[in-house]
Amino acid sequence: MCESLVLQTRIRMGSISFRLLRGSPAKKLNSRSGFSPEALVVQNRVRSLSVVRSDLQLPRLAVTASISLTPDQVEEISPKIQQVADWVGQVQAVDLQTIQPAIREELESNIKNNEVEGFSAPDTNPFGHSFRNYDKESERSGGVEAFYKTNHINQTYEFATNKKEEHGKLNKGKMSIWDCCEFLNEYVDESDPDLDEPQIEHLLQSAEAIRRDYPNEDWLHLTALIHDLGKVLLHPKFGAEPQWCVVGDTYPLGCAFDESIVYHKYFEQNPDINHPVYSMKLGIYKENCGLKNVTMSWGHDEYMYMVMKGNNTTLPDPALFIVRFHSFYPLHRNGAYYYLMSEEDEENLKWLRIFNKYDLYSKSKVRVDVEKVKPYYLSLIEKYFPAKLKW
């Protein structure tokens, strides 16, 4: 029995340590140490077994483990226990602090990797420039920079919380999802250097591209169709909000502005940058608090997320995550603010990364036959939403 226990313990520890040392991904990072749970288990077991190496007293160990051993068994098993102790000593000698958790390396690598299975990203946008190139001189670049200057100066924690309270009442009226799609026909996103087409064109381009490559994920098709509907905030009926607080990249408020945010220099004029708490890395948050607890800069993403929640959509959680964070480029493109994410966020981020490629790279001059695809999307709207939504 004791031999079996020793063998199982040794195999189990060896398996865990081998996975750790070769860098296989773990399930979740420990928020304080940066190690995976497997690494912490190895550390704890090494600490508890180190006494065996320095003071091997098998009879006392047997009593502690509630195992009865005869003198002959003690003599027979002692060398094997000593082998385990020697092996533990070797593990102790390994500097675990130098081992980087493989899951973060893999995630950050994937965040910055433009390849998604089943999708080949084009090299240039409809204007012949690389996507999201804010340094490229073009007919729209000056306006895009001016947009972000205004955005970064005015998007404060107080501003965003006030907007959430104002629009969270959903008292602007009622209309269907499809009516809202058509509502956006007259608007062009001033923050987007890659697109100058009406929003309905972009919505259908994204949705149809995903539908082609992921035919069985109908929830994802509909998510692509509705992800920008929060831009109805631009309409006079919804207050005719200025574009700087409706569109553009989003980022957390109530903590430090990460340098990966586009046109970061303009945050120097934002009041929050001198706030004693908001200017700190974590600010008002705790590490791994979860993005659901983070206040984001106000815009169409947050508004549409509130509309979906307020109307009890039956779309799955990844759909809500995609809609709320699809403009959060500092995270899913640059790996910033990873320390605020929960385990659930990490899972949802996988779907967001898939979606983002279609959201970004499907922008083109090729028109979609709206009347041809309309019946399909109407059926999905009926499946996941009420006929009329509160806005």
From CA 35, how far away is CA 73, in angstroms rounded? 39
Look at residue 276 in the predicted model and tell me its pLDDT: 98
Q: How confident is the model at residue 359 (pLDDT cuts 50, 70, 90)?
A: confident
pLDDT of residue 111: 43
132 is in an annotated binding site: yes
C-alpha distance from residue 12 to each of 5, 45, 53, 191, 300 (Å): 10, 11, 19, 54, 50
Nearest to 272 by CA among 167, 164, 191, 159: 159
* 3-state helix/strand/coil string of 267-334: HHHCHHHHCCCCCCCCCCCCCCCCHHHCCECCCHHHHHHHHHHHCCCCCCHHHHHHHHHCCCHHHHCC
What is the spatial distance between Cα 150 and Cα 246, in angstroms, rounded to a whole number? 12
Banded model confidence at residue 71, pLDDT cuts 50, 70, 90: confident
Higher pLDDT pick, 27 / 249: 249
Distance CA 261, CA 264 (A): 5
What is the pLDDT confidence band of residue 32, given thresholds at 50, 70 and 90? very low
Half-sphere exposure of 331 (CA within 13 A, CB side): 26
Number of neighbouring beta carbons within 10 Å of residue 300: 28
129 has a pLDDT exceeding 80: no
Burial 128-137 (b: 16+ CB within 10 A, else e): ebeeeeeeee
Per-residue confidence (pLDDT) for residue 373, from 0 to 100: 94
272 a known binding residue? no
Model confidence at 89: pLDDT above 90 = no
Q: Would the CA dihedral through 261, 264, 269, 275 be positive or negative?
A: positive
Q: Dihedral sign, CA of 180, 185, 186, 188?
A: positive
> How many whole angstroms separate alpha carbon 118 and alpha carbon 379?
25
Contacts of 111 (CB under 8 A, 6+ apart): 331, 332, 333, 334, 335, 349, 353
167 is in an annotated binding site: no
Six token digits for residue 50: 């180190």
Q: Is 249 annotated to bind ligand?
A: yes
Q: What is the pLDDT of residues 255-283, one digit of tens each?
A: 999 999 999 999 999 999 999 999 999 99
Strand (E) or helix (H) holding 174: strand 174-175
| 300 marked among binding-site residues | yes
Look at residue 86 in the predicted model and tell me its pLDDT: 74
Q: Residue 189 annotated as binding?
A: yes
Residue 296, beta-bridge partner list = 252
Q: If DSSP codes are grouped into helix, strand and coil, which group holds residue 175? A: strand
pLDDT at 78: 76
Task: Please give the pLDDT value at position 377.
Answer: 97
User: Structure tokens of 99?
Assistant: 């081992």
Span 379-388, mean pLDDT?
98
At residue 62, the pLDDT reads 63
Is 60 labelled as part of a ligand binding site?
no
Q: What is the per-residue pLDDT for 123?
A: 43
Please work out, in degrees rounded to the nearest 5, the angle formed at the alpha carbon of residue 239 by the alpha carbons of 237 and 243. 115
User: Given pLDDT bands bounded at 50, 70 and 90, which one contains residue 76?
Assistant: confident
What pTM was computed for the model? 0.66
State the average pLDDT for the chain.
77
Kindly tell me the sign of the dihedral angle through the C-alpha atoms of 241, 246, 247, 253: positive
Helices (H), the chain: 2-22, 37-54, 58-64, 71-92, 102-112, 141-154, 157-167, 177-183, 199-213, 218-226, 300-310, 317-325, 329-332, 343-361, 370-384
Residue 192 counted as an annotated binding residue = no
**Residue 355 reports pLDDT greater than 70:** yes
Q: Is 120 annotated as a binding residue?
A: no
Q: Which two tokens stand for residue 159?
A: 């501003």
Q: What integer pLDDT is reported at residue 81 of this predicted model?
A: 74
Q: Which residues pair with 119 in a beta bridge?
A: 116
Specify the pLDDT at position 189: 53
Q: Which pLDDT does position 182 carry in this prediction?
A: 86
Q: String of b and e for 241-271 (b: at least 16 CB within 10 Å)?
A: bebbbbbbbbbbbbbbbbebbbbeebbeebe
What percentage of residues in the chain have a pLDDT greater than 70?
64
Listed residue (323, 341, 344) closest to 331, CA to CA: 341
Q: Which residue has the higher pLDDT, 380 or 62?
A: 380
**Residue 26 has what DSSP assignment?**
P
Out of 167-171, 243-247, 365-369, pick the least confident: 365-369
4 — pLDDT class (breaks 50, 70, 90): very low
Q: What is the pLDDT of residue 185?
A: 77
For the segment 186-232, what is each residue's pLDDT rounded down to a tens digit?
Answer: 766 555 444 556 667 788 999 999 999 999 999 999 999 999 999 99
What does the pLDDT read at residue 198?
Answer: 65
Lowest model confidence (mean pLDDT) among 90-99, 259-268, 325-334: 90-99
Does 78 count as an annotated binding residue?
no
Residue 37: which residues within 8 A CB-CB, separation 6 or more? Answer: 26, 27, 28, 30
Q: Is 275 annotated as a binding residue?
A: no
> Is 202 labelled a binding residue?
yes
Question: For the chain, what percent of residues have pLDDT higher than 90?
Answer: 52
326 is known to lie in a ligand binding site: yes
Token pair, residue 385, equals: 């939403």
Q: Is 179 annotated as a binding residue?
A: no
Confirm if 175 and 238 have CB atoms less than 8 A apart. Answer: no
